[in-house]
Amino acid sequence: MKRLHLIVKSSSLLDFILINRENIRFRRNKDSKRIYEADIETDKDELKLSLDTFNPYLQSGWWIKMMFLFIISIFGIFDKRFRQRYIYRCEFTLHLTQDSNELTIIPCGKMDHVLDFQGNVKVDEIENRLEIDPRVKKRKVGMFFSKFGFILIAIAIVVLILVSTIK
């Protein structure tokens, strides 16, 4: 049984990291609030590490879901903002050479080189880039105009109700 001690130096990546297409539960380091750790035990010599982006604008039925959340959040006052326009295209193969392995993931912040690694694990890079998705950009603009139109209709209905009750 081989063991991988995974260290991530950014909390913004925690929700996106998958090992063999499974989510990993990270815990905060006791000494530093910005470092997160996970221990993975496996029988395999190779693991697939990938970053998977969650963006509600890329799901099916995105418009209905986003409008529902907009209405429930009292016309966007308590709405969660999905500012992320980027899609991670990151996939790596990790070769576990020892019984106890350690790997540190360090974000670079570059579009063509997203992650760096430190440790005693051999990492084969398949893809390591960040892309701007044009669909997300178009859908966000469409959603802005939909919300604006919905607010105008809601104001018009309130005005009509107030005018009809005055008479």
Range of the domain at 16: 2-166
- CA dist 11 and 23 (Å) reads 15
**Domain tally, the chain:** 1
Q: What is the DSSP letter of 121?
A: S
Nearest to 51 by CA among 19, 96, 29: 19
The residue ranges of the chain whose pLDDT is under 50 are none
Tokens of 135: 């669909």
Per-residue pLDDT, 52: 76
pTM: 0.66
**Contact of 6 with 31, CB cutoff 8 Å:** no
Output the six-digit token pair for 2.
Answer: 């081989």
What is the rounded distance in angstroms from the CA atom of residue 121 to the CA atom of residue 102?
7
Tokens of 144: 């802005």
d(Cα 105, Cα 148) in Å, to the nearest integer?
41
Q: In this predicted structure, what is the pLDDT of residue 145?
A: 92
DSSP 57: G
pLDDT of residue 26: 83
